[in-house]
C-alpha cells in the first residue's frame, strides 16, 4: 500500500514518502496558461483538477518525482524544455510527516498535450484567471494562491 496513515482528520495521505507534482506555466498575453490534470472519476478526489503528480519513491527528490509523474501522466511534453522556478512544499498540518511539493516551472509555449495515464480524464492548459472557477482538488485549491504568486515572481 502506498498510503501514509495520519492521526488527523485527513486520515491518510497518498505516498508514504510524500508526493510531488509539476505546475507548468506558459506565457499568454500578460499572464500565464497553466497545465492542469482532471483526475479520473475512480481515483482519490476523482473529478477534481490539480497538477500532474503523485507519490514519491523512497529517497526521491521532489523535482525528480514531479518530472517522473508528469512524464507518466502527460503525453506531449517529452521534448519540451522547462525552467524550474521554485518548489512549494505543503506539509500536513496534522501529522507533519507528509508533504506535497509542487515544482513550479515555466516553458516558452503551451505544447499540445493529452493524457498518457488512465488516472487522468484530461490534461488542459488553463488561463490562470480561470483556475479558481474549476472543481479543484482540495490540496491544490489551498495552495493555488501561493502558487499563483510564485508564477509572477522573477525566475
- Could you tell me the mean pLDDT of each successive run of 10 residues in the chain, 155 residues long? 66 72 95 95 88 92 95 93 93 72 96 93 96 95 95 73
Domains of the chain: which residue ranges?
A: 3-152
> What is the fold of 3-152?
Nucleoside Triphosphate Pyrophosphohydrolase (3.90.79)
Note the pTM of the prediction, 2 decimals.
Answer: 0.90
Which DSSP string corresponds to the chain?
Answer: --EEE-SSTT-EEE-TT-EEEEEEEEEETTEEEEEEEEEPTTSTTTT-EE-SEEEPPTT--HHHHHHHHHHHHEET-TT---EEEEEEEEE-TTTSS-EEEEEEEE-SS----EE-STTEEEEEEEEGGGGGGS-B-HHHHHHHHHHHHHHHS--
Amino acid at each position: 500500500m502506498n498510503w501514509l496513515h495520519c492521526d488527523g482528520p485527513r486520515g491518510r495521505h497518498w505516498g508514504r514518502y510524500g508526493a510531488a507534482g509539476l505546475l507548468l506555466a506558459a506565457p499568454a498575453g500578460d499572464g500565464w496558461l497553466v497545465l492542469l490534470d482532471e483526475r479520473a472519476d475512480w481515483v482519490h478526489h476523482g473529478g477534481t483538477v490539480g497538477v500532474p503528480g503523485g507519490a514519491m519513491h523512497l529517497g526521491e527528490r521532489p523535482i525528480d518525482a514531479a518530472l517522473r509523474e508528469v512524464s507518466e501522466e502527460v503525453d506531449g511534453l517529452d521534448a519540451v524544455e522547462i525552467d524550474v522556478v521554485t518548489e512549494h512544499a505543503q506539509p500536513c498540518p496534522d501529522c507533519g510527516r507528509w508533504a506535497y511539493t509542487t515544482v513550479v516551472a515555466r516553458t516558452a509555449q503551451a505544447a499540445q498535450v493529452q493524457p498518457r495515464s488512465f488516472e487522468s480524464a484530461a490534461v488542459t492548459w488553463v488561463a490562470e484567471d480561470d483556475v479558481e472557477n474549476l472543481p479543484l482538488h482540495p490540496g491544490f485549491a489551498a495552495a493555488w494562491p501561493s502558487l499563483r504568486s510564485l508564477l509572477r515572481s522573477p525566475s
